[in-house]
Amino acid sequence: MASKPRNERRQFLQKAGLGAALTGIASTLSTPIWAKTIPQELTATLPAGMRQPGSEFSNYGQPSTHEQGVIRWISANSAASGNGVSWTPLHDLQGTITPNGLHYERHHNGVPAIDPAQHQLLIDGLVNQPLSFDIKSLLRYPMQSRTCFIECGGNSNSGWRTNPIQTQAGYAHGLVSNSEWTGIPVKLLLQEAGIKPEAKWVIAEGADGASLNISMPLEKLMDDALLALYQNGERLRPENGYPLRLVLPGWEGILNVKWLRQLRLTDQPLMSRDETAQYTELQTDGKARQFTFLMEAKSLITSPSLGMMLPDNPATYQVTGLAWSGRGKITRVEVSADGGETWLDAELQGPILAKAFTRFNLPWHWQGEYAILQSRATDETGYVQPTRETLLDNRGKHGFFHYNAIVSWEITEEGDINHVYGF
Amino acid sequence: MSMVSKLLFLIISLSVYSSSYAEPDYQPLGNPAAELSESPQWNLSISTDGQGLPVGQGIASQGAKIFAIQCAGCHGPAGIGASAEPLMGEVGSLASEYPEKTVNSYWPYASSLFDYIRRAMPINAPFSLTADEVYALCAYILNSDGIISADFELNEQTLPQVTMPNRDGFIAIYPDNHSLLRTHK
């Protein structure tokens, strides 16, 4: 709506001011028109929030009480409650940034309570000078921000099962979240300690109840890894590694060590439990893939998806979802409504960032026919998200980790939505 | 400011600006930590050649007793089939229709078994076991599938010499084949 011309608005203000001044002194003048013409019944129909003061300020805001169903879904070990995962409700979210309280969790033995004043980071091993840092000092270093996803190597692993799991999108694929991480380039501190030429690997260790230790190539830490202190603008949440964690953009979640206490430079990987017994992928010939650090391109339709329903037809529905790749930018997401027979390009919502969530959208005209909705991502290296059949042909069915196949939602003629394995 | 110092100021601030683009300008704040680096609390990781192993020893029969009390509740009396990961049995099953990844069937090194039990198990009381107890538990687990004999003493010398059945079962994807599966339409 166009605003009133300036003159008219000034006149309106002058009149109102005059009116108010006059009512104060001369009660003989008529009361303002709105007070006379709005009857009690009309005011009563205004929303309650308009007829009374609202609640007071809060020191830290919480979601609306009407959104209490938007939660991480916890799946923990019955005998060890701090061992397990909690899933991001991707199907309930929009945009690309995961709220801090909904970032997925994978803890091996709970969330430690760390006093930042007591926490130390030690950089040692093949360095010229072992160095320790306290959090106060780290906060004085130059910082960088990086928006990227972190995905657990075990995300979507129900896909390896013979029968498609009937779980909401986020509760089957939500061991991935996307945040703006702020911290110190790891490279800076490694250089301060002085890297010896023999150094090739780094063993990171966390200060949690699992003292999680794992090796990673020095090359990656010198490239784009961050020592993150902040997540989406605020200091890390305890469950996301407070006060300090590693962020290795595009690489398997397990390497993004939380509650980081040590980086030891070595010439060889340690072969710890979490790089041998776990996070390796057994193939059909009995050999296992090891050091599969990269998270390959993947996409998922978050709406419509299982747990929702299509209320009417013919109608237009907004198909929306997320795509991401550990190797760089998403360049294309295609959507199919017929189980992969024909594909249409979805619109990619900018900004498209490397190794970060990219939101895609496509309006879909549904006439009430049986349909299978799928999305397929392509990244800037030309890698195309595989079908489940291709993935299983390549990897067998016992890989457990790194499942990135196309996800299929079956739409019945009644508008119900089921998870199927596609054609 | 004189004309000369103004010019100097300009040159200096410009050079700081342009150099900070490639190399950030910051004050190094790390504390020398050679001593810390030597202390046991900062040497928890044990490498495949046994570096980092504490002095100690244990045999399978000692481990069996500890296992029954401290581990069986979650891992099962025979180390398989309970709420936590299977630890024993199923050696040779990896290429079969129903592979089972146990310590004895899957783990390539014995060093990581010691490393992991000491730091993480029992899960409700990490770091509660003595070095002797951890050696004994490792001996018990390994002996259950005949990887070592019943009277074989595991200690800081012998543990790294144990050859696990699946020692050669891993193919390193990084760096050469980092990302094998490429699909094209």
Q: What is the pLDDT of residue B5?
A: 54
Q: Which domain holds residue A112?
A: 105-289
Residue A279 domain flag? yes
Q: What is the mean pLDDT of residues A14-26?
A: 39
Q: Which of A249, A320, A319, A329 is nearest to A297 (CA)?
A: A329
Alpha helices in B97-170 (DSSP H): 103-106, 111-120, 131-143
Name the one residue in this structure whose structure tokens are 């730091």. B119
Same domain (yes/no): A147, A193? yes
- Closest residue to B115, CB basis, from A189, A268, A272: A272
Q: What is the pLDDT of residue A44?
A: 80
Q: What is the mean pLDDT of residues B119-146?
A: 98
Q: Give the strand order in the sheet containing A73-77.
A: A73-77, A80-87, A105-107
Same domain (yes/no): A210, A114? yes
Domains, chain B: 57-185 (1.10.760.10)
Kindly tell me the burial class for residue A191, based on how many C-beta atoms sit within 10 Å of its own C-beta (0-12, 13-18, 19 or more). middle
The string of pLDDT tens digits covering residues A61-108 is 999 999 999 999 999 999 999 999 999 999 999 999 999 999 999 999
pLDDT for A186 beyond 50:
yes
Top residue of B16, B31, B90, B162 to mutate, by most chain A CBs within 10 Å, is B31
Chain B hits for A79, Cβ within 8 Å: 73-74, 83-84, 123
Q: What is the pLDDT of residue A9?
A: 35
Q: What is the pLDDT of residue A19?
A: 37
Determine, for residues A77 and B84 on separate chains, whether the beta-carbon distance falls below 8 Å: yes
Question: Looking at chain B from residue 4 to 43, which residues have their Cβ under 8 Å from any Cβ of chain A?
Answer: 24-34, 36-37, 42
Rounded to whole angstroms, the Cα distance separating B69 from A200 reads: 41
* DSSP strands (E only) in B12-126: 31-32, 57-58
Same domain (yes/no): A319, A405? yes
Three-class SS of residue A351? coil
Same domain (yes/no): A251, A341? no
Rounded to whole angstroms, the Cα distance separating A264 from A200 reads: 11
- Closest residue to B108, CB basis, from A122, A271, A282: A271
Residue A61 domain flag? no
Chain A hits for B103, Cβ within 8 Å: 277
- CA angle A115–A211–A147, rounded 5-degree value: 70
- Of A46-55, A91-100, A297-306, least confident by mean pLDDT is A46-55
Q: What is the pLDDT of residue A180?
A: 98
- Closest residue to B181, CB basis, from A213, A266, A394: A394
Residue B178 pLDDT grade (very low, low, confident, very high; cuts 50, 70, 90): low
Name the one residue in this structure whose structure tokens are 């650090």. A293
The string of pLDDT tens digits covering residues A155-180 is 999 999 999 999 999 999 999 999 99
Residue B1 pLDDT grade (very low, low, confident, very high; cuts 50, 70, 90): very low
pLDDT for A396 beyond 60:
yes
CATH code where residue A252 lies: 3.90.420.10
* Mean pLDDT rounded to a whole number for chain A: 92
Residue A373 domain flag? yes
Q: What is the pLDDT of residue A40?
A: 74
How is residue A80 written in tokens?
């060890």
Q: What is the pLDDT of residue A305?
A: 98
Q: Is the ipTM of this complex over 0.95?
A: no
Q: Give the strand order in the sheet containing A347-348.
A: A298-303, A315-324, A358-366, A347-348
Is the separation of the CB atoms in A388 and A162 below 8 Å? Answer: no
Rounded to whole angstroms, the Cα distance separating A217 from A201 reads: 4
Residue B24 pLDDT grade (very low, low, confident, very high; cuts 50, 70, 90): confident
Same domain (yes/no): A193, A162? yes
pTM: 0.90
pLDDT for A119 beyond 90:
yes
Please name every residue paired with A278 in a beta bridge, in sequence order, or none if there are none. none
Residue B3 pLDDT grade (very low, low, confident, very high; cuts 50, 70, 90): low
Residue A33 domain flag? no
Task: Spell A194-233 as b/e; 16+ CB within 10 A means b.
Answer: ebeeebebbbbbbbbbbbbbbbbbbebbeebbbbbbbbbe
Same domain (yes/no): A282, A317? no
